[in-house]
Amino acid sequence: MFGFVSKTIRHTHRYTEIVTILVKYGMGDIMRSLKITDMFPFTKKLLPKVDNKSVSSFNKWENIRMALEELGPTFIKLGQMLSNRPDIIPLQLIKELEKLQDTVPPFEHEEAVKIVESELEGKISENFSYFSKKPIAAASIAQVHKARLPDATTVAVKVQRPGIEEIIGVDVEILHNLASLAGNNITELKYFNPVGIIKQFEEHIKEELDFNKERLNIERFQRNFQKDGRVHVLKAHKKYSAKRVLTMELIEGVKVSRIAEENLEGYDRGLIAKNGAQIILKQIFIDGFFHADPHPGNIIILENNKICFIDFGMMGSLSQSQKDDLGTLIVALMYRNSSLVTSTILTIVNRPDHLQTREIEYRVEKLIERYIDLPLEEINVGELLLSLTQMLPEFELNMPPNFSFMVKSLITIEGVGRQLDPEFSAMAVIKEFSQTIIKNRLSPKGFAMSSIITLMETKKLIENAPRDIREILNKAKQGHIKIEFEHRHLGKLRRSLEEASNRLVFGIALGSLIIGSSIMVHANIAPRWNDIPVIGLIGFLVSGFMAAYILLSSVYENLKKRKK
């Protein structure tokens, strides 16, 4: 009971702070639109009849950014996450959110030692031969200390700020309430699903507060790039890490932003720009696991132009089908095929039933027309993707968050590339990399993997069929199914069905043969010819003949019909 009372008091105090700060930055009208006083009457006295005009020297986007900074770590993190959503946030606001400052005074050395000893279950002297008293960096979630392991390895130790989990927990609960009010009372925001956005933010911030998750992200990233000489992946030390402590290799290099801004010598700026873009493309289209915040401060350049990413708290992931859809979209944009761009977008997003496909295809055509006469190398990928994503809300289309993070990553890395090298062309790099995407998709292993996935999906479809049929029959018995049926030229229909069924049987046999051959190739079963399993190769050859037969017979039937 006392815990509940304490929590209520804590919430009341925080609501008062939040409303006061938002009113201070001229957002009283928004609070009134939320009808916050209906749910929390004590806030009524906080809302003036006329908004504060003392901030009139700043525009509304600057006021939002300053309000978030004053509201503290939770709201700063929310702003940083929203800066990666160009599909729902105006570009002017994104530019302001990117300026959010996450720097706070460091907490006491004694507190840091206490947390490290508690998390690692031992005296600090047992785990580190040296642990700096002053942090080398401090932010709202954690601060970083320089240290040495018992074997004299120099490391960076990230220590979570004391009490931050409880502070963020209260703020997230309040944000859920505010999001619910926004969805119910502000019509323009309903489509953007504010409750869903806060739910996604809650999941993200919980992961960011668990340093074990960040360590696993580093280890996965390391596996993906262990054979890539262009990248240096920092090492995480599992033995000296826990939920609130992360011990990593200390990276000493130059931030890519410094190379661009200060025109530092000794670096191949064109090579860094090209390699950086290729590395991001590999993360997205090959690995399906990418750094969701590759801003210049998170990219360190080492000797020999090696690239090192830091801060793995925010990562994006894509399934195989999502990678395929994105690959198709990028290739379609590259070749300026508006029809394929439209169909791929509608596969990616949650498509409403009332959407007129032709309408969105027309808008995509008009968008692509702007670039139709430009050489490929001169097309601004960021501008094109931004225009595309910002068009979606007009049709009530929602892009999945990971796709938005991917778009922002590509936009960011193109911007970094142009800062380093004014001649840098992201589209030229994408054109070159598209060959890798196509090769990867059409390779025997890639084809085998997609065939196995298709086989598994088919198995699931067959397993679910009895239950689905039962549901349909139950709805039919209850009179909940309405079927409209009209037939014309039944004789022709019968013949067409016979022809289709014959081709279907042949097609199923062909599909089974392809899947079986793919599995054989993927399993690498002997005997082999040129390192390819002979049985699988024979299966593919037979499949090719069968496919040719189906194609030729189809062409022959069409010619016969035309003569008639």
Q: Residue 205: pLDDT above 90? A: yes
Q: Whole-angstrom Cα distance, residue 250 to residue 253?
A: 10
Comparing 63 with 514, the larger pLDDT belongs to 63
Supply the pTM of this predicted model: 0.74
215 by Cβ neighbours in 10 Å (0-12 / 13-18 / 19+) ranks as buried
Q: Whole-angstrom Cα distance, residue 307 to residue 297?
A: 12
Q: Whole-angstrom Cα distance, residue 479 to residue 483?
A: 11
pLDDT of residue 179: 92
Comparing 546 with 345, the larger pLDDT belongs to 345
Closest CA to 192 of 407, 392, 405, 403: 392
Band of residue 203 on the pLDDT scale cut at 50, 70, 90: very high
Q: Residue 239: pLDDT above 90? A: yes
pLDDT of residue 472: 73
Comparing 58 with 456, the larger pLDDT belongs to 58
Closest CA to 406 of 306, 289, 309, 308: 289
pLDDT of residue 3: 45
Phi, psi values for residue 122, rounded to 5°: 180, 160
Least confident of 37-46, 100-109, 358-367, 477-486: 477-486
Q: Whole-angstrom Cα distance, residue 551 to residue 473?
A: 38
Band of residue 458 on the pLDDT scale cut at 50, 70, 90: low
pLDDT of residue 5: 42
Rama region for 506: left / alpha / beta (φ>0; ψ in -120 to 50; rest): alpha
Q: Residue 445: pLDDT above 60? A: no
Give a three-class secondary structure readout of 67-103. Answer: HHHHHCHHHHHHHHHHCCCCCCCCHHHHHHHCCCCCC
Cα angle, residue 110 at apex, residues 108 and 114 outer, rounded to 5°: 120
Least confident of 174-183, 198-207, 392-401, 419-428: 392-401
Asked if residue 96 lies in contact with residue 61, where contact means CB atoms within 8 angstroms, the answer is yes
Helix spans in 248-306 (H): 256-262, 269-281
The DSSP output letter for 49 is: S
pLDDT of residue 403: 85
Tell the residue number behind the tokens 């009283």, with chain if given.
28
Handedness of CA 170, 171, 176, 177 (dihedral sign): positive
Residue 71 carries which side chain, given as an amino acid letter?
A: L
Q: Whole-angstrom Cα distance, residue 15 to residue 9?
A: 10
| Structure tokens belonging to residue 54 | 């003392």
Cis link prior to 48 (omega < 30° from 0)? no
pLDDT digits (tens, 9 = 90+) for 38-81: 777 776 777 765 555 555 678 889 999 999 999 999 999 999 98
